[in-house]
Chain A
Amino acid sequence: MRETKYWTWHMAAGVVILFLLGLHMLIMHLGGITQLFAPHAGEAVSKENSLFRDGKLFFTVTYILLLGVALYHGLYGLRTILFELTLKPGAEKAITIILLIVGLGLFGLGTWAAVTAHSIAIAGARG
């Protein structure tokens, strides 16, 4: 039943990614026109607009959430592809552990980056 658990969360992560990527596309490609989450002049990826979003707790949380679900979804998919190679059970276990460590490492790094960007943005806003 462990595989059922992995699969269920893989599917759920896909749905969350769909929603968050939709939001990402909306801001990146329409932000300059609609000024949605990009109140400063210029492109949505300009420094001012990026710092504006980084300063919002909502965005920091969604960055971390997107990072988590994308890592899980992608690494589980990679694991499935690797398992197609008909490996021995020991190798499959090793792959699962390595991917778990890589995933947790990247998640920790990304979370640190998002939290740091949030702190910088808040400090910058306070002057």
Chain B
Amino acid sequence: MPDSSTVVRQIRFHITRYNPELDRVPYVKTYAIPVREGMTVLEGLHYIKDNMDSSLAWRYSCRMGVCGSCGMLLNGHPTLACNTQILHIADRELTVGPLPNFNIIRDLVPDLTPMFDKHRSVKPFVIRADETEVNEPAGEFYQSPEELEAYLQFTYCIKCGCCMAACPTLATDVRYLGPMPLAAAQRYNVDSRDDGRRARNQVTGAAQGAFRCHYAGECSRACPKGVDPAKAIQHLKRRLVLDYLRLARRKKPCQKLHGPGEGKPLPNIPAAPGKTVPGDSFPNLPERSP
């Protein structure tokens, strides 16, 4: 419970409630809670659950914008409850709802299964002809900092579903793949270790793929991690067209550089200092009891 001396003001939370076993349609219930400086929406929800209504349901885990579990609609904007401070977005009133474009499991818990099914369909993993090397790597693949930079921002996606909730195309067509899976496809397409772009093109270039995007750009605006899915989709479209016209340069995926410990150190890098702790680096730990 917030310390009463630090409470700034009372904020009324208008929360969408829905229990499919009891309610025909979702409805809004209001809770007035004391808010202090720096308090997040997630903390506000905890306050309600602890002190006012223990039946309130939502999904959360890390509390620090990493896991992507607590995506919800705050004052009409899809974002994470854990890294949104109440006083940054609310003066007196705050509406809290489940992410749109998803079915509701209960209260603020959206059913993200369709999103993950679509994500799976774009083969979001490195695909190479040398499958053994992928599954049981015996060395490192060479990738320059520039090659890493080409896809790095798309790796920051935490699959929270905020972009899917903000997408106006997905709102009208549930079959559309959506920004998250398409950005994931682009992330692997431009990875220099990957050779699976043409396999992904079958999905991303299909009727419900990248070409359904009208470039509203809301996905990029909504992303709490600063990823730009709209940009990824436009790059994806360009590459699909170039692949169709056979104008894309055929580039072999990067090759294995060397096995662990087999690399040649650069001559201008000094040798690592000796051990400071005597004995094995990983002393045998006692086995855990089951």
A interface residues, Cβ below 8 angstroms from B:
1-8, 11, 83-86, 92
Contact = CB atoms under 8 A, between A and B. Distances in A.
A5 B201 CA distance: 12
8 contacts: A1-B202, A1-B206, A3-B207, A4-B205, A5-B244, A7-B211, A7-B241, A84-B172
Nearest to A1: B205
Chain B interface category by residue count: 10 to 19
A85 B171 CA distance: 11
A4 to B, nearest CB: 4
Contacts of A5: 244
A13 to B, nearest CB: 13
A86 B211 CA distance: 15
Contact of A3 (B172, B174, B206): B206
Contact of A8 (B201, B207, B209, B241): B241
Nearest to A4: B205
B240 interface: yes
A84 to B, nearest CB: 6
* Interface SS, A side: helix
Instruction: Specify which of B205, B206, B243 lies most central, judged by the most chain A CB atoms within 10 Å of its CB.
Output: B205
A3 B244 CA distance: 10
B271 interface: no
A7 B237 contact: yes
A1 B241 contact: no
Contact of A4 (B173, B174, B175, B241): B241
A5 B211 CA distance: 11
Given A3-B209, A4-B243, A86-B173, 7 more contacts: A1-B205, A4-B201, A4-B240, A4-B241, A8-B245, A83-B173, A84-B173
A85 to B, nearest CB: 8
Contacts of A11: 241
A1 B206 CA distance: 5
Contacts of A6: 211
B172 A1 contact: no
Interface string B196-233: 00000110011101010000000000000000000000
A8 to B, nearest CB: 5
B8 to A, nearest CB: 45
A39 B114 CA distance: 65
A14 to B, nearest CB: 13
Contacts of B241: 4, 7-8, 11
